[in-house]
Amino acid sequence: MAYDKHKFIIITFLLSAFLCYTCYIYNSLPRKASAMDEQSSAGKLIWQKYNCGACHQVYGLGGFLGPDLTNEYTARDTAFIKLFLKDASVFTPVMPVFNMPESEMDALLSYLKSIDASGKSDLRTFKVNSNGTIEQ
């Protein structure tokens, strides 16, 4: 019985710690002020609607058939990106021909802009500390 008691103490402790950690993160999300404007918020949903993430990564996460697009907005000009969103077949046989309406392209562009403004995904920009952690 005493043995069971120890288990209950440990599980209560772990669950409380997990709940505190979770509440802290929800309550004070890492980025506060700069809420996405409406257009880029709509752009995120369009990104999901076309499932761009199956081939592209943001901060290295996603599918790997296409390149990471975190900082695409500064790497390329908007006219170039729009060409891809209309008909990428001139550049690559892989990416679908989306023929996107202008409004969706604009929303996606502001989404790409907001991602770009959030940080850099280039792994070459990281500094390795001697304790094994990394910093940018």
Partner 1 sequence: MEPSNNKQLNTNKLFIVAGLILLGFGMIYGLTGAFQYLVPGFLKKYFSFEKIRPLHVSAVVFWIILGAMGSVLFYLQQYTQKKLHTPWLTKVQLLVFLFTILAILTSYCFGMFGGREYWEFPPLLALPILFGWLLFLYNVINTIGSIRNQPVYVWMWLTGAVFFLFTFLESYLWIFPYFRNNIVNDMTVQWKSYGSMVGAWNMLIYGSSFFLMEKISGDKTYSTSRMGFLLYFIGLFNLMFNWGHHIYTLPTYHFIQYVSYVVSMTELLILGRIIYEWRASVSTARRHFHHAAYKFILAADVWVFLTLLLAIGMSVPALNIYTHGTFITVAHTMGATIGINTFLLLAIAFDILHETCLTFEPNTKLFNRTYFVINASLFAFWISLIAVGVMQSKWQMSEPRILFGSMMVELKPFFISFFIFGLILTIGILIIIYPLIKNQLLCYYTKSKSKKTT
Residues interacting with partner 1, by CB under 8 A? Answer: 3-4, 7, 10-11, 14, 17-18, 21-22, 25-26, 29-31, 34-36, 41, 44-45, 48-55, 57-68, 92-94, 96, 114-115, 118-121, 123-124, 126, 128-129, 132-134, 136
| 60 near ligand HEM, rule: CB under 6 A | no
State the nearest-atom distance from the C-beta of 68 to partner 1, in Å.
Answer: 6
Residue among 136, 80, 65, 64 nearest 112 (CA): 80
| 94 near ligand HEM, rule: CB under 6 A | no
Query: What Å distances lie between residue 89 and 31, 57, 86, 93, CA to CA?
Result: 37, 20, 9, 5
| Region near ligand HEM per CB under 6 A, out of 6-14, 42-50, 61-69, 70-78 | 61-69
Q: Centre a 10 Å sphere on the Cβ of residue 109 and count the other Cβ atoms it contains.
A: 19
CA 127/CA 136 separation, integer angstroms: 6
| 117 near ligand HEM, rule: CB under 6 A | no
| 21 near ligand HEM, rule: CB under 6 A | no
> Which spans of this chain sit near ligand HEM (rule: CB under 6 A)?
63-65
